[in-house]
Amino acid sequence: MDTNGTDSAKDKSQRYQEQYLAMDVEERKEFGAWGKAIRALGWGLNEAEKKERQERKEYERDVTDCTRCEEWRNELLKTSPIVRFMSEHLKKSGFPLSTDIMPCIKCEDMRSGGFAMDGTIQLCYNRLIGKGHLETTMAHEMVHAYDQTNFNIDWFNLEHHACTEIRAASLSGDCTLFQEMMRGNVGFLKHHQVCVKRRAVLSLLANPSCKSKKHAEAAVNKVFQSCFTDTRPFDEIY
């Protein structure tokens, strides 16, 4: 006991040890299970232990999410009608499609995927809601890959960028009525066109050549009709 009348850490440890030794086998099992449950909840840990526990949980979650993303991706490449259709047309266009250039990665910003200028189709494993969400994301980014391969897009030209975003949003299934209802955007009058324009504008806002939302909207409106009606490689909107 220390000078102010409280037990020291050494005294507490010795007392706990004596209590444990006094338990029978069944009581020790119950105590061990209780201790594991307490540690799982993070109780009784110091700051360093809490940080280590949190980092371990995040790592385990990343491994689980990334593995699931890769499994879904591989399955969709074999079974999804729209993904298989786009895969065939990408290969016909000379795009070197493989799982190596379609990695599942962790994304800091709020997006489910992306198409990089080096031709990589990025899939954000930590932003996916489900396999259906990944299917739409893959189709969306594959339209970008198709446009880049066939039309040699200048990504810093807002009209070029707007055109491929319009086509990707329209053709991938990104703007179906179900998808819009899931986002809380309930509207039946030309909902598809409204969704396509809105999502194209949102994408353009991330372009360093875009000066403002009005600038993005102007680019989208200028090319909308010609790009919206261009459904290649589909015969019509999927």
Is 141 one of the annotated active-site residues of the chain?
Answer: yes
Measured CA distances, 31 to 3, 50, 53 (Å): 32, 22, 22
**What is the distance between the alpha carbons of residues 117 and 141, in angstroms, rounded to a whole number?**
12
Q: How many CB atoms neighbour CB 168 within 10 A?
A: 24
Q: How many CB atoms neighbour CB 23 within 10 A?
A: 12
In 36-189, DSSP assigns E strands to 104-105, 113-115, 121-124
How many distinct helices (H) and strands (E) make up the chain? 9, 3
Q: Is the dihedral of CA 41, 45, 50, 54 positive or negative?
A: negative
DSSP letters spanning 34-78: HHHHHHHHTTT--HHHHHHHHHHHHHHHHHHHHHHHHHHHHHHHH
Catalytic residue among 141, 165, 217, 236: 141
**What is the distance between the alpha carbons of residues 232 and 164, in angstroms, rounded to a whole number?**
11
The residues pairing with 113 across neighbouring beta strands, listed in sequence order, are 123
Residues with Cβ within 8 Å of 111's Cβ and at least 6 positions away in sequence, in order, are 124, 127
Provide the annotated active-site residues: 141
